[in-house]
Structures are given as structure tokens and as C-alpha cells.
Amino acid sequence: MTNKRIAVLTSGGDAPGMNACIRAIVVASEGKGHSVIGFEHGYNGLLSADWRKLDSKKVHNIIQRGGTILRSARCKEFKEEASARLAAKHLDELAIDALLVIGGDGSFHGARHLANYWNGDVIGLPGTIDNDIYGTDATIGYYTAIETAMDSIDKVRDTADAFERIFLVEVMGRHAGFLGACAAIAGAANYVILPELFKDTQTTLDNIHQQLAIHRQRYGHESFIIVLTENLWPAGISDLATQLETLTGGEVRPVTLGHIQRGGSPVSQDRMLATLLGVHAVKCVEEDKSGIMVGVHNNEPVEIPLEQTWENKKALSSPLTHTMLTMLNERHHWGLG
């Protein structure tokens, strides 16, 4: 086996565990005799040839840090052919054998685009808190975001119980309900509004009203917490709060978790996933694979063509949906028996 020259970059929204993944790539590479460089600011660094050498010492003690030591950024001009050609030129000048891209689906589009103009191997690693990438059970950062959202719901419940109030908690997820579903189950929320289950606003309001009645009967006046995925309620969380105040006659407090969900020290599951994927990506480089994303399925590393990661839509797993409906939204709401 020849020694490889590997480049890595992080792109798109940052996610906890990206550093753990960079570290795994570097340490695994070094153990096999490969060398690694990192491009700064996502694809921008590829265009400006802004890079630095990475070795074990440089990635020591970064596994626990949020964000990304390589920085991230959007890079709209990378869609153009000229950009991809320039990137290819830089990669060739540096004699790079493989480029590893840690990011979300936008980043993977960029990787696929580059592959049209460059002969080296291009491999994607899924890094986003939204877990909205087809072909992998989990994405780097997802587990930490669940934990942060859950911790916040735990805190809100302290106050909600003290005042016996209704709270609305908006979590991220872009257009997918993974984060909302898990935060709601782990946070013991009482209702969850997700893209995958959403019909229309009136049905949702009716269901909440009905669920609240059941809740009051079972729990008396304990708190009632609703988790909502961002970008879903047409007029926003404040409008939903107002509508629920009208509906229930009580106070409803909205909380938008926002950017704290993207940061923080990665939890163990994200560090392990990031390490597993980083190690596997290095193995793929050794085997000259290209145009793929490495992911995890049933606890095993898997490889799928980059195109499939965005051409298919990942569904909430059936056990997750079943658990959620049983514990939160009562299956009969949805005609599920």
C-alpha cells in the first residue's frame, strides 16, 4: 500500500464532533503512514489555497471541543465550473490523493461537483445537527444537539411545573423532525409538532386541545410542554403561542433554543461516531474509493454514492415514530390504532 496524501475540510453549518472527526482522520492516517492537510473556511480555502499541515500533535486535545478548528463557511461560487477547476488545480499542485469533506448535503453537492473536474478521490462525511442526510442512521453533531435540546427542556420543565404553565420549545432540524422527535421523547415533552406528522394548523391545534384535556385529567395541573420543529408553523412560534392562549385561556410561553444547539462539547456518541467515520474514511482512501459518503447503518460503517444522499429522503425510523406517538401524541390522533 502506498502512502496517501489526504486533505480535509469542514463545510456548512458547524456541528459538535467535527473536530473529533478531523482528529480521527489525522491519527488514523498517521498510524498508517499517510499525511494530512486541512483547508480553512470550507471550500473557500480550497479556492484560495489556504491550508495547513495537520499531525497528531496539532489535533491533540481537540476531541472535546465544539466548532471546527478548520473553520467553516458557505461558498456560493463553488457551484461554478471555474471554481471546481481552480480547486482541482490547487489539489493537484499539492499532490493530494483524496479530499475528505465533513458537512451536510450542500457540502456533498460541492464534493460531487468537484469530482467532475478532479481525478483524486472525493469522500463525504456527514456532519450536521439536523440528521437529515439519507444513507446514514446518524450524523456527526446530532447526538449533542439532542442532548442540548433535552437539557433545555429539562430546565424549562422546572419552571413550567412551578407555574403549571404551557411552554412551547422550538428546536432546529431544518425541514426534518429527527431532532424534535428525540428531544421531545428524551425531554418528556407532552406534544410534538414535526414536519413528518404535520397536516395543517387547524388539525394541530385541535389535537393539542384534545391532548391537553387528556393530560389535565391524568396529571392535574402539571406543566404541558410542546416541542416544535423550526420552519414549520407558518406564522412562527409566537403566533402559535397566541393561538394556544386563546384556545386554552392560560399563559403560553415560547422558547426558541436557537444557536446553542450547534455548539458545545460533543457527547460521547458523537465523538464515537466521528471517530468511526474518520477511521473508515481513511480505509476508503486506501482502497481508492471515490464519490461516496461514509455513513453508519446498524452500527456498521457503510458507503453510499454521494448523489443518493440528497436524492432520497430519510424517514423517521418506525420504532422512533411508534415511541413518540405512544408517549406524546397518542396514536389515535393519527388514526394509527
Under rule CB under 8 A, which residues in 242-271 are in contact with a second copy?
253, 255-260, 262-265, 267-269, 271
Report the side by side order of strands in the sheet with 252-256: 191-193, 224-229, 166-171, 252-256
Choose the stretch contacting a second copy; rule: CB under 8 A; options: 106-114, 177-185, 199-207, 238-246.
Answer: 177-185
Shortest distance, CB of residue 218 to a second copy, whole angstroms?
Answer: 4
d(C-alpha 155, C-alpha 183), whole Å: 13
| Near a second copy in 199-228, by CB under 8 A | 218-220, 222
Enumerate residues 276-315 that contact a second copy by CB under 8 A.
276, 279-280, 298-301
Residues 325 and 336: beta-carbon distance below 8 Å:
yes
72, 40, 20: which is closest to 279 by C-alpha? Answer: 20
User: Residues 158, 239, 287, 311: which binds a second copy (CB under 8 A)?
Assistant: 158
171 binds a second copy (CB under 8 A): no
Task: Using CB under 8 A, pick the residue from 37, 186, 205, 247 that binds a second copy.
Answer: 186
Helices 142-163 and 178-186: angle between axes, nearest 10 degrees: 50
Sole window of 81-89, 93-101, 195-203, 273-281 interacting with a second copy (rule: CB under 8 A):
273-281
Q: Are 51 and 44 in contact (CB under 8 A)?
A: no
What DSSP assignment string belongs to 23-39? Answer: HHHHHHHHHHT-EEEEE
Closest distance to a second copy from the beta carbon of 151 (Å):
8
48 binding a second copy? (CB under 8 A): no
The answer to whether the beta carbons of residues 225 and 328 sit under 8 Å apart is: no
- The one catalytic residue among 14, 105, 121, 130: 130
Tell me which stretch binds a second copy (CB under 8 A): 67-75, 119-127, 191-199, 201-209.
67-75
Binding status of residue 154 toward a second copy by CB under 8 A: yes
Choose one: 118-126, 139-147, 200-208, 284-292; the region binding a second copy (CB under 8 A): 139-147
- Catalytic annotation on 130? yes
Is 163 a binder of a second copy (CB under 8 A)? yes
Residue with Cβ nearer a second copy (115 or 133): 133
One residue of 235, 287, 322, 336 binding a second copy per CB under 8 A: 322
CA–CA separation, 109 and 302 (whole Å): 19
Q: Does 72 bind a second copy (CB under 8 A)?
A: yes
Q: What is the DSSP letter of 333?
A: G
Closest CA relative to residue 229, chosen from 252, 198, 200 = 198
Task: Give the amino acid at 150.
Answer: M
- CA–CA distance, 189 with 104 (Å, rounded to integer): 28
Give the CA count within 13 Å in the CB-facing half-sphere of 216.
11
Catalytic residue IDs:
130
